[in-house]
Structure 1
């Protein structure tokens, strides 16, 4: 009885799945093949009627095009298309469209080529075989001659016919293996032993009784044999029982939701934003208070009051969702006083998960209102794994990122106030390649770790930020930044890179200077020479500005004579500067380094426009103009 009940349950589940699948409209593959076959046959009929000028203007245009391309071989196209249409109806293959197209092309080209060779080398060739036939046969005739060319074209036609024959061939319903009895040779007859092989029946219907040799009486043993089937039946996978998982035990505590709603409404009204409070959704970790602002109120006014609402409610952090997806409301998410853990057992035991049509459904958790959320991996283009505060997904505001606008920081790309967010689309380089962002968040100030490698690479990350580390035994894995110790090997990303495309710097305008000053020229585009010049100044030079006197000085210090020569040449070619001060660096007479000093306010302003400043060596950065330029 239990087995019958299980079978009935399985059959009922299968019928439910079939009913759900049948509710969706989708054509089976056989129907799609038949539709394509009908379209092909209709096209063959249209071409055939165009021979007798009974297919209208479209048929006449099709006939003219075919005659221009393949000449008189166009009269064979209806037959070729009929073969293609029959292939759609009779073929046993699932993917065969490429073979059908190849067969049509080979037969058409082969026929046009043969007709071209049969009409000699005069103007009638174009009418007989068309332009395609003429273009095919022209090199073949020059290389092989007439007879070999016709043999090659005949082979092409045969190949096309073989393709259609293979597509139209029906498979045999049953394949029987026939073993032919071979007569043994004379030597085998002499030396082969003569004995008979007796077949043993696979089934033993009667039980075999075994009598024990021991004199004491013992119960009789019965051994029953069961025939083993040739093919093992399919065993359906049985998932582990849900009793292994823990159920939800905690309940979230949101406090007095009526008082919180009144506080939110009063706080917004104090800033001149009248609202009407709506529903309240209590989730596992946060409680969402939905409200509807009055007409004419900008949402940006509400989103900028997150800190004021956090102070009024004595809760931090507060997230403002403006608007709520699918609703014309604004949601204010306040953290619960007591959070509840979302456990897997209740999500898996839910009716929606148990009766899902796909086998690749995963549990994502619960939304703000406590409703379970599931996703089908088979339909998702990608899977984004996000985490709460402290799970290692934060980057510093001054972190350099390879983007399509150049190697810039977060502050340079999209500056945001604290505890705010905005829609922000930008292509950047990640661990998995080039991806596109959707939003930018500023969650406030966090504690960062600064890691420096032996080769000078620096990594800034939060305590939980994962880094790829090689262990002492040679194995690799992820490790939090706070757990990195001295002598650990950390992987540095050398994957794909993006570069900016800003090379125009012609919008620079120097300030006016009283008195007579020598004018200098400025480059209008970022060039490799200018980028190298900025690199030299960033590494071994800088801008020096006096505080008491307005001294504008650009200084470069170097001991290598080749680099000094390049710097002087760059000053002349880029800015037209040939007058400068060159002296020994410092007061030590043994010092071989030289200082090249240029006093120019306009040069200093131009370098500051490109992103240079008068910072000390530890605070120096690559100029912004170089990071925004192309590779």
Structure 2
């Protein structure tokens, strides 16, 4: 029996109507179409590059279509935008270009959809304001296309005309203005206070510019007016009368000067140095360029802070962000830990923080000295170039008047950082190649040239590399040319030690304790200028200590240590730099006497401990990023070093050379007596043993310590002392590592010197008995008549 099918079936006792399968489900189709459109728009706005290129292309198309240069499509676009915004078509390309620039500049923190939509809203409200101002009564939509295109367009009329009918004209103006402000804030994604601050800055700078321009015009007009008056008011007299008036004026001036100089005859002796300083003109600050400011995005800082807090929460660290300190190179995020959280939990997360924030390295201050907070220093994505002109032109630098104040750079908060060499009083600079040591020395030297005259500060420069400091030759501040020979550098250090001793003798005779008291007493005329001189400050700059230590390590170390111990009071200061921070170059005695150190980027924690006695320099990011510790402030301080270009150095050097010629002191590089080995008695060696060692070395022409040890049967230490004595006597050259020393005397010269010394001894032996006989005869009773016999 066939069963009749029907569209109605019973399912669980209920009737169900089967739907035909060939019909289209319109709601689901529309829903899926909406989803596709939404996903397409979201993918379009997801890429800032796509939106920025689209906006830039649209701006070009609208701009060309306004002049009829874009074809039929351009004509259609121009008609559409003109119909919508009227004369606002000329503003629309500029807004599109600005929006595209915002997307490219703030690509990491900006919302592309907000920029695009915000640009349209700014265009709408700008056209509406234009439509409101161009007519006394706003036009309605019914006036026609041609009239609306010559004002703000149909969209503006659709907004302004109803508002003007519902509200008064003044209220309509306020609503449109606030709408424009909100659109700008929405488009640029900035806060209202920042917008107000920007507008205020524009008004302030405009006022200052107008005031300065008006002041300059007024001063220029005064100067020209005075010149015209002086030229017109000059009496037309002959040359004889002019000569008479000049003589009279000179005689009056001479009488006044004589009267003024009579009461102070003592001080006149101390005035020549002051006259030199008054004739010397310091270089102007305009020779140094200013650095460019890099705007710091607050949104980016807030986003980084949020990522940092989320990272700490993920690792179980409860902390609160208390402060953000943006600097020229790094930004410090300061956090405070919750009670019961250990500091070690944060210090162990340095690599995780660097990985999460995609930064090369992170430095932790756990805790910040003197505060219950931890500092996390993260490098900026855009570093600010700090110029020496920014530091020296700051108000802090202008307040300082001590001649040894030099510019270093900007600290982590962006404030200028200067240091006084007399307070350090010596500084050790170390770091790997390219970290910024030579740039730091150039900043120090250029600061001294910019702020001091040659009578106040003198310099001795040692540059074994021959390429860093040679540009300062013939500068009047130098005591001698830039020294490139390591042996001459040893002589210069020995001269500095002897100059220190001479100055201490003058301080003792003048009954003063330091150079400042000596200068005050000298300038007051209380010291005799025939016996005392007004000695200047001396800064000794050594660009590479490693080369000097390889040639004459003992003499260099002893001279540096003695200067570091005693030279502060008499105004001699050391600036020593090296790119090899190892214990054989920077010895313990040297570090103990030079407490101020500047550390640039180094390769390892060991190198950082050699320089700073603690880690931290291995976390620096190079290019002038430094850590400084001084005798007065043993806590580490991070500074971005100032940069001075070669062109700026040349300009400053040329200015200084034009003011005064260099006067070198030849005694600086003259060969000095060795301070390490002065005589044989100090070492406790026998003269016969020294003569034997000399003969062995000269006849064998081999300056070897092991050879003396074998031949003389002495220990290695004693053989080494003998070799040092021979070096001090000029018989052998300096040590060359594992190689034998060079013998400087030939066998013929040695034999000639030996014969001459024997003849001198024999002649002295013959003369002494004759002297004895003469003395005996002269002491006799008949000493008045002995010559007659």
For the criterion TM > 0.5, the same-fold answer is: no
Higher relative contact order (CA 8 A, sep 6+): 2
Query: Going by fraction, where is helix more abundant, 1 or 2?
Result: 2
TM-score relative to the length of structure 1: 0.29
TM-score relative to the length of structure 2: 0.24
Query: Going by fraction, where is strand more abundant, 1 or 2?
Result: 1
